[in-house]
A and B are shown apart, each in its own frame.
Chain A
Amino acid sequence: MPVAVVVTVIIAIWYAAAVGLNAPWAHDKAKRAGQELGLAALVQDTWSQDKPKLPAPHQVGAEIWKTTVQKKITSKRSLVYHGWITLSATLLGFGFGTVFGILLAVGIVYNRTMDMSVMPWVIASQTIPILAIAPMIIVVLNAVGISGLLPKAMISMYLSFFPVVVGMVKGLRSPDRMQLDQMRTWNASAAQTFWRLRLPSSMPYLFTSLKIAMAASLVGAIVGELPTGAVAGLGARLLAGSYYGQTIQIWSALIAAAALAAVLVSLIGVLQRVTLRRMGMQE
């Protein structure tokens, strides 16, 4: 209930802001046509401009409807097509990042030298605004002949490995002394301790960090699409929209990206609930 109210209020503010921001243009047009603009006419005009400063929600909705349902999926104008391109880069990068992150975390937990030397750099690597070098990675990899999905996926990977490393290190270390001692009294080997105790008890941490990693990975893929010369993908739609002042297109790409993020993150949420329940860890 409260969520619904808040969302309604946000949409209402959006409509009001659309009137406010688009009013100058509407007044300008009316003045040149030599007309006085009444309140009703003003509202109507501000909500239906071609290239408004802030498109009204229903315009964005109509654009999304037009570019998803009414276009063929293979069409260059279809949002589904662009979304798919972004999604594939996101998932690929997310997969790489997760695997890399887990391996790194295992290394850090089992090797003291790695713990002391790598961990500070893992943290430092995130204080570097890596997204800034995204265009360079793309261009450089392009020069070596790698183009398309992989460069974008690399950026996604870089952004998504960090939460996984931090979460998994915490998770793999979460079994307490008592449990580790118990494994020793059972004469468990290091591998057995890992598979039977450390890995299972790290699962809640893993899923929490996977959610963050997924969101980060999507951001990486979108930003990775910016410098490729606006060919395809949601990021390219954003860039093309900003070049040609197609605000409605920008907003619809933005909403599509938001929806994609929401779906992906909630998918992991479902997976988390199912897994943890089967493992008997759900409280």
Chain B
Amino acid sequence: MTWLVFAFAVWALGWTVNNWLARLRPNRAITLLVPIIFGATLLGIWEGVVQGLEISPILLPAPTMIAQRTAASVDILWVDFVQTVIKGALSGYVMGCGGAFLIAIAIDRFPFLQRGLLPVGNFVAALPVVGMAPILVMWFGFDWQSKAAIVVVMVFFPMLVNTVQGLQSSTAMQRDLMRTYAAGYWVTLFKLRLPAAMPFVFNGLKIGTTLALIGAIVAEFFGSPIRGMGFRISTSVGQLALDLVWAEIFVAAVAGSAFYGFVALLERRVTFWHPSQRK
């Protein structure tokens, strides 16, 4: 009972504080603080409800329990992290995005390919590409190569479509100006069109970050060596060691957010001129 009261108190407190903060003149600290308080409130409610209603840890472990487990199994989590994120997701992400970027530049030179490949690319980008996972696991074996392969396939088309769109985003006026400067194809590409394409490219890169992690983890459900986050999740679910599963999810969440945040930071540095990045 006290735990339930605690949960309610946390909720009331968090909401009041946030309401008060939101009415103040917004500055950097407040825009950062409000979501943090909200998150902390959620965690508090979670803890209180789980303890108060005595929900079995097999169904939903309390946050403190997950934190303990995370601290206790750092070595396992690290091994899994290296296997899935570094070897599987990152290498596939780099190959997929890099390849798509280069091919997009090639496509851009040929209007015929543009008209033919873009609809197909758009179509494929909407398909459940994760389904390719069992096939690629069959082709490339159980180790990280097959995970990287599925990541390549998953990030390729969103990246391709976005880059091609971005390369077309410079206006006719701007291109004409380059012509009056007697700039050739390559100069125009590097000085005008690639920079102009960057907001779109980063859009593709950001979509890719989440897809990469999903692809790498899901591919492990179809077969993997005895390490890796997807492997650990599916086996721990079988053993009902849900706290370890949540610890893996915690790591995945942190890794995913950090990955996304890094790309977003890079975007801010590269496309500082774009209206959406200006303060």
Given A117-B34, A140-B60: A126 touches B126 (CB 8 Å cut-off): no
A21 to B234 Cα, complex, angstroms: 31
Shortest C-beta distance, B203 to chain A (Å), equals 13
Q: List, in ascending order, chain B residues with CB within 8 A of A215's CB.
A: 126-128
| A interface: dominant SS | helix
Contact of B138 (CB < 8 Å), options: A2, A133, A143, A242: A242
A135 to B60 Cα, complex, angstroms: 14
A191 to B137 Cα, complex, angstroms: 54
Give the total of B residues in contact with A, Cβ under 8 Å.
62
Shortest C-beta distance, B26 to chain A (Å), equals 8
B120 within 8 A of A: yes
B249 within 8 A of A: yes
Q: List, in ascending order, chain B residues with CB within 8 A of A227's CB.
A: 221, 234, 237
**B242 and A135 form a contact (CB under 8 A):** no
* Stretch among B15-23, B98-106, B166-174, B270-278 lining the A interface: B15-23
A116 within 8 A of B: yes
A116 to B35 Cα, complex, angstroms: 7
| Closest 9 pairs between A and B when the two form their complex, measured CB to CB | A2-B116, A242-B134, A117-B38, A6-B116, A120-B35, A129-B213, A2-B115, A132-B217, A127-B260
Enumerate chain B interface residues (CB-CB to A < 8 A): 15, 18-19, 21-23, 26, 30-31, 34-35, 37-39, 58-60, 112-113, 115-117, 119-120, 123, 126-128, 130-135, 137-139, 209-210, 213-214, 217-218, 221-223, 229-230, 233-234, 237, 242, 245, 248-249, 252-253, 256-257, 259-261
A-B contact pairs, 16 of them (CB 8 A): A2-B115, A3-B116, A5-B112, A10-B120, A53-B139, A113-B34, A121-B35, A127-B253, A131-B130, A131-B217, A132-B213, A132-B230, A133-B233, A227-B234, A242-B138, A262-B126
Enumerate chain A interface residues (CB-CB to B < 8 A): 2-3, 5-7, 10, 21, 53, 112-113, 115-121, 124, 126-133, 135-136, 139-140, 143-144, 211-212, 215, 218-219, 222-223, 226-227, 234-235, 238-239, 241-242, 245, 247, 250-251, 253-254, 257-258, 261-262, 265
